[in-house]
């Protein structure tokens, strides 16, 4: 059998049988012959348009693949928005001068070329460009990480980053997948989906399904008919495991990434399919870092991909150095070193265990608490399938609130003894390990955690589960996600709570944060910076430039002048400043 050459740079120059299937569609399939024709025709059109930066969003993975390679072969760069929401496209459109979009109405009034049907250009006799080798060092794509707040961070990758990634996947997982077709319930607009469901099968000559199966069960019928691989996520696998959709299916491999896979789902999928889920750990910045399989669940260590070097940074976070890393410090030889937000224990054999996100340390009554640690402890309880914790303001202090997805056993307990009793059970189970004041004070038992489309769990969505009940009423302050202080400057990364107390009385029709709240937040940050209560003499040069809405992420900075008489403050976000001003402090006169 032919050893499949695995290359993206030389992909379109390969001589494959024209009838070889590239993509499976509802109606049938697209062949290698069609694919090369489509790419050549579209690349010709793009080159004629003379544009360089093409924003690409398609639901259909084949259309996306054609667009992606046509952009590269026309000498351009592909910009991949993380989703097709109007707001996302609107935020990114100025970064592009051309648009390849399944839904042209998203950029109806945009300046620039818009192409909605990338396959329509393949008319008989149409002349496309000649498809040679691509320059592996050329900028290829710009991706966006879906962080927990705001617009996300742009990460640029050269073609070779993805090319080497695909070669790594083939080397690590390719054996045993000959002739398998790839199906997915994650989007190709993100790095994980782009690599696993599209670029890897495409480069290795395996068919991929053009459709994304967002309701997991549907994909099973298609997969059962042929040797197959499923590219999935914890959310999707959990849903499929719970509805027994996977029973009797025996794929060659199942991949999961994007969030931690809980023990119960890992075990349920393995028992239903006979295949241990291969979990992938990585990020947009680092590319693939490590993988693991754990058919019985449990805290199995992660194994690094070949040629990925791991170390622990000072604060216990994972530092990744490899040729796949495209962000961070240049480490020579095409390598970069990037410090991730995940804390780890690295073993002597180079494997590692995740120890939670470094940035989810909170203080409750001056006691430090790692939310991931407590979440992990909760997840060990037989009544708990999954848990998410969030600090909420209650009276004088923040308290921990717990959202719990009960296991089957937990649901039975809930029916038997009720919420209060189950909450007390769980509190008692945590009590031996955590400081008393850090124990959760509010419990919510929910069917699912409020994950977004990428499977991530934004803190504000969890907090929203507890919004508006009990306590001393709705919050007056923003959720502070991160705080850094250096010298006479203090900076906070914040999110406006959706139930902010100020929204009740102000601007009923379109809630925005009133000016008095901007000031209050600046004063609060100033008190933290100076370590004492502020006595305010005056506020100068106050400017409110754009409104701040519920749920919005923003940054707050206060800077004290040398003699601590004045505090300059500034609220802003990526798009620009929100408000600025100067607080003049009263001089002490009592001595």
Partner 1 sequence: MQTSDTIETDLKTLIVDALALEDIEPSDIETDAPLFVEGLGLDSIDALELAVVLEENYGVKIDDDPERNQVIFASVRNLAEFVRQNRAK
Phi-psi region of 299 (alpha: psi -120 to 50; beta: other; left: phi over 0): beta
Residue with smaller CB distance to partner 1, 394 or 564: 394
Tokens found for residue 264: 């119960």
Which residues on adjacent β-strands are paired with residue 576?
A: 573
Rounded-to-integer distance, Cα 458 and Cα 321, Å: 28
The answer to whether 396 contacts partner 1 (rule: CB under 8 A) is: yes
Q: Which of residues 120-139 bind partner 1 (CB under 8 A)?
A: none
Tell me which of 381, 399, 493, 573 binds partner 1, using CB under 8 A. 399
Tell me which of 352, 443, 445, 521 binds partner 1, using CB under 8 A. 443
Contact map string, positions 402 to 441, toward partner 1, x by CB under 8 A: ----------------xxx--xx--x--------xx-x-x
User: Shortest gap between Cβ of 497 and partner 1 (angstroms)?
Assistant: 17
Rounded-to-integer distance, Cα 91 and Cα 169, Å: 33
User: Shortest gap between Cβ of 431 and partner 1 (angstroms)?
Assistant: 9
Which range binds partner 1 by CB under 8 A, 4-12, 138-146, 250-258, 465-473? 465-473
3 state SS of 232? strand
Q: Are 444 and 404 in contact (CB under 8 A)?
A: yes
Residue with smaller CB distance to partner 1, 415 or 540: 415
Residue with smaller CB distance to partner 1, 28 or 533: 533
Tokens found for residue 418: 């009720």
| Closest listed residue to residue 230, CA positions, set 262, 203, 196, 260 | 196
Which residues on adjacent β-strands are paired with residue 321?
A: 309, 337
Question: Can you give the C-alpha Rg of the chain in angstroms?
Answer: 26
User: Shortest gap between Cβ of 427 and partner 1 (angstroms)?
Assistant: 7
Which range binds partner 1 by CB under 8 A, 112-120, 128-136, 178-186, 392-400? 392-400
> Between vectors from CA 21 to CA 19 and to CA 23, what angle results, nearest 5°?
140
Rounded-to-integer distance, Cα 421 and Cα 56, Å: 52
Instruction: Map tokens 């029709």 to a residue.
Output: 509
Residue with smaller CB distance to partner 1, 248 or 473: 473
User: Shortest gap between Cβ of 378 and partner 1 (angstroms)?
Assistant: 17
| Closest listed residue to residue 479, CA positions, set 456, 463, 455, 503 | 463
3 state SS of 409? helix
Q: List Cα–Cα distances, 244 to 69, 215, 226, 250, 589, in angstroms.
A: 38, 13, 20, 14, 74
Contact map string, positions 357 to 386, toward partner 1, x by CB under 8 A: -------xx---------------------
- DSSP letters for 124-179: TT----------TTSEEEEEE---SSTT--EEEEEHHHHHHHHHHHHHHH-TT-TT
User: Shortest gap between Cβ of 66 and partner 1 (angstroms)?
Assistant: 55
Residue with smaller CB distance to partner 1, 166 or 402: 402
User: Shortest gap between Cβ of 367 and partner 1 (angstroms)?
Assistant: 10
CB-based contacts of 412, cutoff 8 Å, min separation 6: none
| Closest listed residue to residue 554, CA positions, set 512, 584, 591, 507 | 512
User: Shortest gap between Cβ of 97 and partner 1 (angstroms)?
Assistant: 54
Which range binds partner 1 by CB under 8 A, 17-25, 39-47, 168-176, 468-476? 468-476
Rounded-to-integer distance, Cα 407 and Cα 262, Å: 11
Residue with smaller CB distance to partner 1, 153 or 394: 394
Which residues on adjacent β-strands are paired with residue 332?
A: 335
CB-CB neighbours of 138 under 10 Å: 14
User: Shortest gap between Cβ of 393 and partner 1 (angstroms)?
Assistant: 11
Tokens found for residue 116: 């909605």
Residue with smaller CB distance to partner 1, 4 or 476: 476
Residue with smaller CB distance to partner 1, 424 or 535: 424
User: Shortest gap between Cβ of 361 and partner 1 (angstroms)?
Assistant: 18
Residue with smaller CB distance to partner 1, 216 or 440: 440
CA 54 to chain centroid, in Å, comes to: 22
With CB under 8 A as the rule, give the number of residues binding partner 1. 22
Q: Which of residues 274-333 bind partner 1 (CB under 8 A)?
A: none
User: Shortest gap between Cβ of 420 and partner 1 (angstroms)?
Assistant: 3
User: Shortest gap between Cβ of 423 and partner 1 (angstroms)?
Assistant: 7
Which range binds partner 1 by CB under 8 A, 127-135, 341-349, 396-404, 476-484? 396-404
Tell me which of 395, 432, 531, 533 binds partner 1, using CB under 8 A. 395
Give the H or E element holding residue 235. helix 234-242
User: Shortest gap between Cβ of 561 and partner 1 (angstroms)?
Assistant: 35
User: Shortest gap between Cβ of 439 and partner 1 (angstroms)?
Assistant: 8
CB-CB neighbours of 17 under 10 Å: 10
Residue with smaller CB distance to partner 1, 82 or 423: 423
3 state SS of 338? strand
Residue with smaller CB distance to partner 1, 129 or 364: 364
Residue with smaller CB distance to partner 1, 215 or 424: 424
Maximum Cα–Cα distance across the chain:
92
Q: Are 502 and 476 in contact (CB under 8 A)?
A: yes
Contact map string, positions 470 to 489, toward partner 1, x by CB under 8 A: xxx-----------------
CA-based end-to-end distance of the chain: 91
Residue with smaller CB distance to partner 1, 124 or 395: 395
User: Shortest gap between Cβ of 397 and partner 1 (angstroms)?
Assistant: 5
Q: Which of residues 332-361 bind partner 1 (CB under 8 A)?
A: none
Residue with smaller CB distance to partner 1, 111 or 420: 420
Rounded-to-integer distance, Cα 64 and Cα 478, Å: 39
Residue with smaller CB distance to partner 1, 394 or 520: 394
User: Shortest gap between Cβ of 394 and partner 1 (angstroms)?
Assistant: 6
Q: What does the binding site for partner 1 look like in residue numbers (CB under 8 A)?
A: 364-365, 394-397, 399, 418-420, 423-424, 427, 436-437, 439, 441-443, 470-472
């Amino acid at each position: 059998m032919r050893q499949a050459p695995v290359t993206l740079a030389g992909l379109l120059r390969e001589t494959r049988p024209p009838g070889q299937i590239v993509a499976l569609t509802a109606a049938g399939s697209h062949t290698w012959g069609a694919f090369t024709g489509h790419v050549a025709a579209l690349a010709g059109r793009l080159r004629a348009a003379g544009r360089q930066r093409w924003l690409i969003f398609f639901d259909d993975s084949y259309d996306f693949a054609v667009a992606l390679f046509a952009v590269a072969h026309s000498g351009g760069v592909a910009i991949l928005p993380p989703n097709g929401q109007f707001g996302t496209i609107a935020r990114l459109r100025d970064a592009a001068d051309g648009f390849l979009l399944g839904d042209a109405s998203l950029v109806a009034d945009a300046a620039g070329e818009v192409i909605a049907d990338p396959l329509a250009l393949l008319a008989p006799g149409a002349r496309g460009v000649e498809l040679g080798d691509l320059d592996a060092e050329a900028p290829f794509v710009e991706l966006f990480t879906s962080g927990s707040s705001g617009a996300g961070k742009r990460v640029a990758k050269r073609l070779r980053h993805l090319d080497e990634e695909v070669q790594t996947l083939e080397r690590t997982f390719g054996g045993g997948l000959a002739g398998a077709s790839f199906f997915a319930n994650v989007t190709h607009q993100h790095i994980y989906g782009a690599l696993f469901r599209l670029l890897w099968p495409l480069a290795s000559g395996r068919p991929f399904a053009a459709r994304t199966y967002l309701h997991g069960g549907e994909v099973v019928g298609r997969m059962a008919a042929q040797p197959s691989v499923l590219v999935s996520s914890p959310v999707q696998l959990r849903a499929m495991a719970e509805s027994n959709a996977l029973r009797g299916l025996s794929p060659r491999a199942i991949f999961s990434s994007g969030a931690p896979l809980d023990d119960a789902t890992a075990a349920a999928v393995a028992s239903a399919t006979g295949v241990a889920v291969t979990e992938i750990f990585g990020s947009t910045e680092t590319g693939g870092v490590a993988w693991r399989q754990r058919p019985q669940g449990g805290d199995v260590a992660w194994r690094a991909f070949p040629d990925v070097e791991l170390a622990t940074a000072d604060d216990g976070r994972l530092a990744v150095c490899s040729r796949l890393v495209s962000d961070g410090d240049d480490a020579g030889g095409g390598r970069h070193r990037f410090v991730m937000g995940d804390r780890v224990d690295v073993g002597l054999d180079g494997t590692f265990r995740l120890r939670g996100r470094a940035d989810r340390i909170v203080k409750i009554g001056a006691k430090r608490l790692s939310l991931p640690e407590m979440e992990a402890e909760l997840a060990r309880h037989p009544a708990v399938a999954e848990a998410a914790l969030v600090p909420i303001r209650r009276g004088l202090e923040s308290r921990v609130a717990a959202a719990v997805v009960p296991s089957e056993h937990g649901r039975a307990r809930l029916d038997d003894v009720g919420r209060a009793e189950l909450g007390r059970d769980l509190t008692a189970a945590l009590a031996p390990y955590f400081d008393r004041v850090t124990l959760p004070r509010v419990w919510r038992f929910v069917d699912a955690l409020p994950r977004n489309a990428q499977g991530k769990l934004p803190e504000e969505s969890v907090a929203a589960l507890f919004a508006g009940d009990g306590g001393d009423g709705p919050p007056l302050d923003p959720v502070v996600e991160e705080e850094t202080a250096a010298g006479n400057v203090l900076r906070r990364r914040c999110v406006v709570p959706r139930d902010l107390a100020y929204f009740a009385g102000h601007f009923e029709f379109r809630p925005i944060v009133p000016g008095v709240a901007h000031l209050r937040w600046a004063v609060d940050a100033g008190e933290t910076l100076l370590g004492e209560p502020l006595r305010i003499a005056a506020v100068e040069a106050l400017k409110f430039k754009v409104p701040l809405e519920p749920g919005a992420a923003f940054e707050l900075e206060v800077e004290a002048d040398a003699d601590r008489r004045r505090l300059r403050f500034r609220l802003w976000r990526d798009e620009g400043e929100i408000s600025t001003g100067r607080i003049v402090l009263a001089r002490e006169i009592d001595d």
